[in-house]
Amino acid sequence: MEELPLLYRDARLVAVHKPAGLLVHKSPIDKHETRYAMKIIRNQIDQWVYPVHRLDKPTSGVLLFALDPEAASHLGQQFESQLVEKQYHALVRGFTNDCGEIDHALKEIAAFKSDQARLDEKEAKAAFTAYATLQRFELPYTDGRFPSSRYSLLSLAPKSGRKHQIRRHLKHISHPIIGDVKYGKGPHNRLFRETFDTERLMLACTMMSFSHPSSNELLTIEATPQDNFSALLARLQTFKQ
């Protein structure tokens, strides 16, 4: 039986480390996929679980479930009220500023393409992401335009929770995430695929902090980036600036 690494568990909550490439729950837009985190953890702990947030399929990291409807409602309200603190790490194209804020409203993304035109008629919703640069790398490989290629490792704190928010915000400031086939740049994705045998989206949720639904005490759950993420960063240290 497949299992996911447990990061935290008590009578009302369970948090796991979701690997890249795994759906959070069954989805009509990926209807042929039979593996999803909700099913795996339900079988693993032999208990029904209630998803309270989502991670994109290609994103790894902290994934939280409630174990009863009341806890799910309590946590859902915290997410909706933007009271949950989240931290992500991402490897992006180019040298970013030491720190910055991305305040850029985003249109909703429909589950089905046939519904997108209707959503495009609506006003974009406020979205805010803060970031800090942790490391910079310059690789002696061409991206097709320049003789070398520059990249930055970021820590990101999204305040709102719009679909694909971090990925879209980083594209907006011209620093797309490596491995992002939807919002990224093909030459850079290809460079990492061919040079480092890395195809995954280089985005991971590394921390989540919220009020526990029973005690209201602050609970912080952390996860180091998945092995394939960490291994790539270790290889990049040779090129650190």
Cβ burial of 186 (10 Å; 0-12, 13-18, 19+) is exposed
Mode of pairing for the β-strands spanning 50-51 and 203-211: unpaired
- pLDDT cut 70: percent of the chain above it: 94
56 classed as catalytic: yes
Split at pLDDT 50, 70, 90, the class of 116 is: low
Query: Domain range spanning residue 224?
Result: 6-239
Helix, strand, coil content of the chain in percent (nearest 5): 25, 30, 40
Asked whether residue 145 is assigned to any structural domain, the reply reads yes
- Taking the C-alpha atoms of residue 48 and residue 145, their distance in angstroms, rounded to an integer, is 52
Split at pLDDT 50, 70, 90, the class of 118 is: low
Split at pLDDT 50, 70, 90, the class of 142 is: confident
Asked whether residue 18 is assigned to any structural domain, the reply reads yes
> For the chain, what is the domain count?
1
Active-site entry in 10, 30, 46, 56: 56
pLDDT in tens, 43-73: 999 999 999 999 999 999 999 999 999 999 9
Mean pLDDT of 119-140: 88
pLDDT in tens, 4-23: 999 999 999 999 999 999 99
Q: What is the CATH number of the domain that holds 184?
A: 3.30.2350.10
Q: What is the pTM of this model?
A: 0.93
Helix or strand run (H / E) with residue 231? helix 227-236
Asked whether residue 1 is assigned to any structural domain, the reply reads no
Asked whether residue 70 is assigned to any structural domain, the reply reads yes
- Taking the C-alpha atoms of residue 19 and residue 4, their distance in angstroms, rounded to an integer, is 8
User: Is-contact 220 84, C-beta < 8 A?
Assistant: no
